[in-house]
Homo-oligomer: A and B are copies of this chain.
């Protein structure tokens, strides 16, 4: 074994040991630890900043873009957001220990399900050091250990943050191995983590599609992931135009660089001639480039002809694909072929079409008359979000605390045996 492999094995074994003890931590103890972590970030801001400055300097030397440097920077605002995040997670209800579905069987045994932690979570991410704190907080509250492997750009910041968080854990008598940052940024460190199926229960990758594909293709451990968000809005023939324009503009313009932003607009052909010029004018004014099907281009002179590759593309930019479709069935078919199972919305006043869309679209979030931008753990009321899953096993959609747990069966008997 290489040094990297040996170190990661040892860290994972310690994470497993810590996880075993965490299953019986009280909610109060976890909450106190989270508040201590918040306090520690306040007190050790200068220490953290010093190490963050090393990353920033290295980043500048490597010629990282301003956007990348901005993500790396632990500014006052980012620090405050991490600190508030810790306090918010402390305030969330503890999912662990909840018992549900308890039934009495004919022989008198009581059978139910108890929510329990998953165990050890492996988080693989890129350049945002705030993920270190946000993910550690959620994992701790759900009773899990976390092994964090961030990108090389943020390594000093991540190690400094982990040190501060571990001190807070130790002060609360929680095994500090519950939160560990892997000190290696080589690919080998990722590959090694992905093979530790006996020690790590779940891998959550966050970052670009390349990283996520690498993780998915090399992991022996279950992975919760989403590659991209190609969200559609279908404006049905009965849609309220003002509402539809609002939802389209919000989806495309409010924050175009995120996965729940709108990438394609489908319009019922009966209203296309009336609706498209109105939504087109609004999009124009916001500087959105339109790439339309032939019917769209015939109505909107400013639209460029869409190429095949424009359907199903995550532009993450002020670009919108627009297609006129003959009916709801064609809209559903287009979404099946080009959607990414992230978030899909219909704008309609037809009860029947709304219900059909809700039922038939296969996506982690399906909406009637609302902006795709709501597809988010915070907006959905999960309290906080560890990521989004567009695969269906275990979790589908935004993942909060509950998705970091599972349920075991419990049985209360009085000596019953099987006949």
Contact = CB atoms under 8 A, between A and B. Distances in A.
B358 A392 contact: no
* Assembly stoichiometry (copies): 2
Contacts of A410: 358, 365-367
Interface string A347-386: 0000000000011101111111111011100011100000
Nearest to A371: B417
A402 to B, nearest CB: 10
Interface stretch (A28-36, A39-47, A109-117): A109-117
Nearest to A243: B415
A364 B416 contact: no
Contacts of A220: 216-217
B202 A418 contact: no
A118 B360 CA distance: 13
A62 to B, nearest CB: 34
B360 A415 contact: no
Contact of A24 (B359, B365, B381, B398): B359
26 contacts: A23-B360, A23-B362, A24-B359, A103-B381, A105-B379, A109-B370, A109-B374, A111-B374, A111-B381, A116-B362, A116-B392, A118-B393, A202-B393, A222-B393, A246-B417, A254-B418, A365-B408, A365-B411, A367-B410, A367-B412, A369-B414, A371-B413, A375-B409, A393-B393, A396-B406, A397-B409
Given A360-B24, A393-B222, A411 B366 contact: yes
Contacts of A105: 379-381
B366 A23 contact: no
Given A369-B413, A370-B412, 8 more contacts: A23-B359, A24-B359, A111-B380, A240-B415, A365-B408, A368-B411, A380-B409, A396-B409
- Leading 7 A-B pairs by shortest Cβ distance: A370-B413, A250-B417, A243-B415, A367-B411, A373-B418, A394-B394, A365-B409
Interface in A187-227: 201-202, 216-217, 220, 222
A392 B362 contact: no
Contacts of A371: 413, 416-418
A228 to B, nearest CB: 15
Contacts of A202: 393
